[in-house]
Chains A and B, each alone.
Chain A
């Protein structure tokens, strides 16, 4: 069984690095790419067709909510987990409506993020 491929999208390089480290340390997971904004995320999704995308909302160039429907379009099978500090119900509802599968708040520990990815990995 092949690893679950993951794309990490966040404008903060430290977060991308740490999330990658967390996920790469998980069995059956492989981070296949990093993107600093929504535009790069859409391009990488089109190329790699990852199983899961961990997607920040607040990003320059193209934010996560703008990128979400485009990701679903170029890689319909990809599950998108929103990772953001915006915790309002409205944001969450909008993200879900646009195709997000889950919502993880920033500030969560790495294991929480990994668990969310694993849940989607099992659905692959």
Chain B
């Protein structure tokens, strides 16, 4: 029953003096507190069970003034309100009024809340003779509301705290609900993606991010880490997502995400944290490149050190920039002695006969300054100690893009090779000489055989003719031997028998000549 509906029920006397008590029974059944007070002292004339429960059943109040029954009411100003209603006739309606009631009559006041109405009751003369009180205990309602408000305040506080925390995290933080709607994100996220939260209200809208994997494949809306988290509960760690502009990678982030579960294990939201790693990857790439470069340099150095050929590298002005160990060994120069120096003046300044070798005529010079490749194997290089050695060298220009930056000479000391060639040539000459000697020997033997047989058969003419030829062959051999003795210092002419044997017309000691 609304408080306002009670006003027309009649006077206080009629309410307190009902013959059939119908209203008394009715009021007793109302799930509210109903009281009828009479007179200026507000004496209890009627009170239902609801009121008794409200103020405590241990109290005796019928026929007693309210100030006596409920003294705590006076302290709280309610008696004054009653007095005002009684005197002015103006009803009073209280909403969720806090009331402290000593229900147990032990001096302990229970805090409660009531919606109540103080309504003036009039006698038959229209005079106010009492007050009709209707009160509904809304204590639980108020407490529930207060509690909810408290929880809401706490929730707002925690939310604010969370927002502060995630805002200060030096990484992008984003929270989404199970539908994929982003519910919270910090400024790092906002600055990176430049997407409004309202634009991402479900998973399908995530295609707006336009990310791709390192292999270039694009993400479908439901394939992003946070989407997989809120849809399937997947925990993602360190997944890289690229954002491209054309074929170029603009930015790369590394994302981790995890679901937030309730007590039942259901997904209530998902949180993702990401960091931009574009610069880190670039630095890593540079580091890898640097290491690769260093490794390559080590390999190059190993190759140069192991090379048996001399390698001499010049810059665009012909100055030495590199000298490998083989070149050092061949020329006698150390790197410290030649670095920065023009190589021509060190090892190529003269021809084999010692005459000056103009640099303008040098093929290496043309290689350095005119980009010509050359191969020369009939010159010499000069060692630090002033001696020379036959050399075969190639000079090749080297380029950085289209710009020539110098030349590299690769050379071999031909000393041993020349020795071998000389020895081989002498062996071949000796073999030819030997074959010639054998042939001559055979000719001589044939000649002697013919001479003997001819003499034996009495063919004197044939015999003498053959003897002539035989002697000529012998001269050839002997003169050849004499010539070889002059060329070869190991053969002393004095060791040769230069005398004609006895029986051939001479006493000995005659020198063989072509005239005989």
A22 within 8 A of partner (CB): yes
How many angstroms between the C-alpha atoms of A58 and B445 in the bound complex?
A: 11
Question: Are A15 and B450 neighbours in the complex by a CB distance under 8 Å?
Answer: yes
Contacts of B445 in A (CB 8 A): 85, 106-107
In angstroms, how far is the closest chain A Cβ from the Cβ of B227?
94
> Considering only CB atoms, which chain A residue lies closest to B445 in the complex?
A85
Q: 0/1 per residue, A100-114, Cβ < 8 Å to B?
A: 000000111111000
B466 within 8 A of partner (CB): yes
In angstroms, how far is the closest chain A Cβ from the Cβ of B479?
21
Q: How many residues on chain A are close to B (CB under 8 Å)?
A: 16
Known: A14-B462, A14-B466, A85-B441. A110 touches B456 (CB 8 A): yes
B248 within 8 A of partner (CB): no
> Considering only CB atoms, which chain A residue lies closest to B452 in the complex?
A109
Question: Are B453 and A15 neighbours in the complex by a CB distance under 8 Å?
Answer: yes
Question: Are A22 and B446 neighbours in the complex by a CB distance under 8 Å?
Answer: no
Known: A108-B452, A109-B452, A110-B452. A15 touches B457 (CB 8 A): no
Contacts of A19 in B (CB 8 A): 453
A93 within 8 A of partner (CB): no
Contacts of B466 in A (CB 8 A): 14
Which interface residue of B446, B448, B452 has the most chain A CB atoms within 10 A? Answer: B446
Q: Which of A60-107 contact B (CB under 8 A)?
A: 85, 106-107
> Considering only CB atoms, which chain A residue lies closest to B441 in the complex?
A85
How many angstroms between the C-alpha atoms of A58 and B435 in the bound complex?
A: 12
Residue from A21, A106, A110 within 8 A of B448 (CB atoms): A106
A12 within 8 A of partner (CB): yes
Residue from A18, A58, A108 within 8 A of B450 (CB atoms): A18
Which interface residue of B441, B453, B454 has the most chain A CB atoms within 10 A? Answer: B453
Question: Are B441 and A110 neighbours in the complex by a CB distance under 8 Å?
Answer: no
Q: How many residues on chain B are close to A (CB under 8 Å)?
A: 15
Question: Are A14 and B450 neighbours in the complex by a CB distance under 8 Å?
Answer: yes
Contacts of A111 in B (CB 8 A): 456
Question: Are B446 and A15 neighbours in the complex by a CB distance under 8 Å?
Answer: yes
Q: Which of A16-51 contact B (CB under 8 A)?
A: 18-19, 21-22, 25
In angstroms, how far is the closest chain A Cβ from the Cβ of B467?
12
B449 within 8 A of partner (CB): yes
> Considering only CB atoms, which chain B residue lies closest to A85 in the complex?
B445
How many angstroms between the C-alpha atoms of A108 and B453 in the bound complex?
A: 8
How many angstroms between the C-alpha atoms of A18 and B462 in the bound complex?
A: 10
Contacts of A110 in B (CB 8 A): 452-453, 456-457
B442 within 8 A of partner (CB): yes
Contacts of B450 in A (CB 8 A): 12, 14-15, 18
> Considering only CB atoms, which chain A residue lies closest to B469 in the complex?
A14
Which interface residue of B441, B450, B459, B462 has the most chain A CB atoms within 10 A? Answer: B450
> Considering only CB atoms, which chain A residue lies closest to B449 in the complex?
A106
Question: Are B448 and A22 neighbours in the complex by a CB distance under 8 Å?
Answer: no
> Considering only CB atoms, which chain A residue lies closest to B463 in the complex?
A18
Query: 4 shortest A-B CB distances, which residue pairs?
Result: A85-B445, A18-B453, A106-B445, A106-B449
* Chain A contact residues, CB within 8 Å of chain B: 12, 14-15, 18-19, 21-22, 25, 58, 85, 106-111
30 A-B residue pairings within 8 Å (CB atoms): A12-B446, A12-B450, A14-B446, A14-B454, A14-B462, A14-B466, A15-B446, A15-B449, A15-B450, A15-B453, A18-B450, A18-B454, A18-B459, A18-B462, A21-B453, A21-B457, A22-B453, A22-B457, A25-B457, A85-B441, A85-B442, A85-B445, A106-B445, A107-B445, A107-B448, A107-B452, A108-B449, A109-B453, A109-B456, A110-B452
* Chain B contact residues, CB within 8 Å of chain A: 441-442, 445-446, 448-450, 452-454, 456-457, 459, 462, 466
Beyond the given pairs A18-B449, A22-B453, 12 more chain A to chain B contacts, judged by CB atoms under 8 angstroms and listed by A's residue number, are: A14-B462, A15-B453, A18-B450, A18-B453, A18-B457, A18-B462, A21-B453, A21-B457, A85-B442, A108-B449, A108-B452, A110-B457
